[in-house]
Amino acid sequence: MPVTRLNHAVLYVRDVERTKEFYENVLGFRTLIWAPGQAAFFQAPGSTNDHDLGAFQVGAGASTPGRGTVGLYHLAWEVDTLAELARLRAVLAERRALTGASDHVTTKALYARDPDGIEFEVCWLVPADLITDDMRARTAGLARPLPLDLEGEIARFGAETRGGVGVSVPVG
């Protein structure tokens, strides 16, 4: 089965209106289908997919997500630039949704939780032509992520350098 990419993810949520507000106003998703009290389907900014995220309301009494329960650990969304990663860090911090930031050497990542406590990652990938043998070796031997120095990474790679080229984004 040669998978080319993840087409979409679907979440069960306690309150679909609260989920809609969060994904629209924090991550900039656009609501494509809205069924109040039931479901919503969202498209990520810059996506041409028919939907990237679905949410179905299961009610306030639903179980909590996270460590110690079976289920999704986290979703990860890739952004084009470190400037966008920095902007999202500020928005997520303002909303008290930001839970961490890690440097995985070739991936720079923020971690956050949505209103239901579902963890997600927003990341920027170092373009393939900027990945060195030393970076590959450090990534392979990295048992624990490093703290993210986002300002240092912006100084190193540039705020507007397009991430993921040759890795997750085709060259050209």
Give the domains, in start order, of the chain with CATH numbers.
7-59 (3.10.180.10), 72-172 (3.30.720.110)
For residue 60, the model assigns a pLDDT of 85
- CA distances (Å), origin 78, targets 50, 64, 75, 82, 116: 18, 26, 10, 11, 21
What is the tens place of the pLDDT at every residue in 20-31?
999 999 999 999
78: number of CA atoms within 13 Å, CB side?
17
Nearest to 124 by CA among 170, 171, 151, 84: 84
Selected residue with higher pLDDT from 140 and 165: 165
Tell me the average pLDDT across 106-122: 94
**Residue 139 pLDDT > 70, yes or no?**
yes
Percent of the chain with pLDDT over 90: 71
**Residue 144 pLDDT > 90, yes or no?**
no
**Residue 2 pLDDT > 70, yes or no?**
no
Note the pTM of the prediction, 2 decimals: 0.88
Percent of the chain with pLDDT over 70: 98
What is the tens place of the pLDDT at every residue in 32-81?
999 999 999 999 998 988 899 999 999 888 887 777 777 788 889 999 99
**Residue 1 pLDDT > 90, yes or no?**
no
40 forms beta bridges with 34, 55
Q: Which two tokens stand for residue 63?
A: 């179980």
